[in-house]
Structure 1
Amino acid sequence: MTVNDPFARLPEAAAFSVTSSTVADGAAWPRAQFSSGVPGGEDRSPQLSWSGAPEGTKSYAVTVYDPDAPTGSGFWHWAVADIPASVAELPEGAGDDTGSGLPAGAFQLPNDARAPRYLGAAPPAGHGPHRYFVVVHALDVDTIGVPADTTPAVLGFTMAGHILGRAVLTATAETAA
């Protein structure tokens, strides 16, 4: 079996830095970042800070994706578009039902459960560890031009020709059988 690399067939992009006070790169999600359907889960989006985006960045998008979900297509947990280039941080919990912590102009797209919010980790019990790719995409446009009800996959397709840089943090989650 090969490891599903969600970036394998995407255009190359300059790397820049993303950090989080919620989770370290490669570490397990804290319980608050799990789904409310999991004991202790709160569906709370992680705090994110980024720096070093390429020159010419006009906006950002943030996505959280689990390529290990048993769906054949992975699972999109969160997608935020049209974050202004002047913003370099999202507070923990920004991805609530109203997007209360998002900057003006930014909006959340429906996740794979069709809710426009952050949906926490909920890997099937005994399925093994799942990887959650938290990605900040630096874009060369002020607005990506997708409707608010589009899917994260369509957002990704639309962004492909506009990505100047990509900052990646990977969290993990597993639930016991």
Structure 2
Amino acid sequence: MKRTLIASVLLATSFVSSAMTLTSQDIQEGSRMTDSFVFNGFGCSGDNLSPQLSWKDVPAGTKSFAITAYDPDAPTGSGWWHWVAIDIPASVNAIERGQATQGFNGVQMKNDYGIASFGGACPPKGDGMHRYQFTVWAMPTEKLAIPQGASNAIIGYMLNANALDKATLTATYVNE
């Protein structure tokens, strides 16, 4: 009986798969970001550094990654894309702090500030707490097939439609 129970437990745990995870040395789930990750412009005066991100437990078949940073609380009716990076090689499993502007290995698309890089948090003063969803997407192709000049909404659609897995870390910021 004891051997049967142990064998059953071992068999059950052998089928448990681990989902992709995303961590950061710079931002924590549900916690307020520091001014290091705040935009420098639009009435904000931060350092505009992209945070350090690391991911693991990547699904089999991953050929590239994408990273997005999105504020669903922006008063636009459609949110605000702070960072859209695609075609990051599958050999990469981390992005260092500030790497969006120095030696980035991938293709950065224009964010909603109109720049092809990371654009930090900058909610309107007095607009309350905003959430910043940093997501790493495991992609089944080396290059994301997107139309020339595609909007961030189209890219987001393509990521959701094609990703093998994704992991999200949500930080916050209030502009007082």
How high is the TM-score relative to the length of structure 1? 0.83
Say if 2:38 and 2:48, in contact at 8 Å, map to a contact too: yes
Deviation larger for 32-41 or 16-25: 32-41
Q: Write the letter of the residue equivalent to 2:143.
A: T
Aligned to 1:11: none
Residue 15 of structure 1 deviates from its aligned partner by 3.7
Between structures 1 and 2, the one with greater helix share: 2
CA offset digits 1:77-97 (Å, max 9, x no partner):
00100011111011111122x
Q: Write the letter of the residue equivalent to 1:54.
A: P
Say if 1:124 and 1:175, in contact at 8 Å, map to a contact too: yes
Residue 27 of structure 1 deviates from its aligned partner by 1.0
Residue 24 of structure 1 deviates from its aligned partner by 1.2
Alpha-carbon distance in 2 for matches of 1:164, 1:32: 32
Aligned to 1:4: none
Aligned to 1:137: 137
Say if 1:59 and 1:138, in contact at 8 Å, map to a contact too: yes
SS at match of 1:175: coil
Aligned to 1:56: 61
Alpha-carbon distance in 1 for matches of 2:167, 2:44: 30
Residue 64 of structure 1 deviates from its aligned partner by 0.1
Alpha-carbon distance in 2 for matches of 1:162, 1:89: 21
Aligned to 1:31: 35
**Percent pairwise identity:** 40
Question: Matches of residues 133-172 of structure 1 in structure 2 within 5 Å?
Answer: 133-146=133-146, 149-172=149-172
State the Cα RMSD in Å. 1.6
SS at match of 2:32: coil
What number of residue pairs does the alignment pair up?
A: 158
Residue 159 of structure 1 deviates from its aligned partner by 2.2
How high is the TM-score relative to the length of structure 2? 0.84
Equivalent of 2:104 in 77, 102, 106: 102
CA offset digits 1:98-133 (Å, max 9, x no partner):
xx2312xx1100001211011111111111100000
Q: Write the letter of the residue equivalent to 1:101.
A: G
Aligned to 2:86: 81
4+ long deviations beyond 4 Å: none
Aligned to 2:124: 124
Deviation larger for 123-132 or 153-162: 153-162
Shift in alpha-carbon separation, 1:174–1:79, aligned structure 2, 3 A: same
Q: Which has the higher Rg, Structure 1 or Structure 2?
A: 2
Aligned to 2:46: 41
Q: Write the letter of the residue equivalent to 2:53.
A: L
Residue 22 of structure 1 deviates from its aligned partner by 1.0
Q: Write the letter of the residue equivalent to 2:61.
A: G
Residue 148 of structure 1 deviates from its aligned partner by 7.1
SS at match of 2:99: coil
Residue 40 of structure 1 deviates from its aligned partner by 4.4
Alpha-carbon distance in 2 for matches of 1:161, 1:140: 11
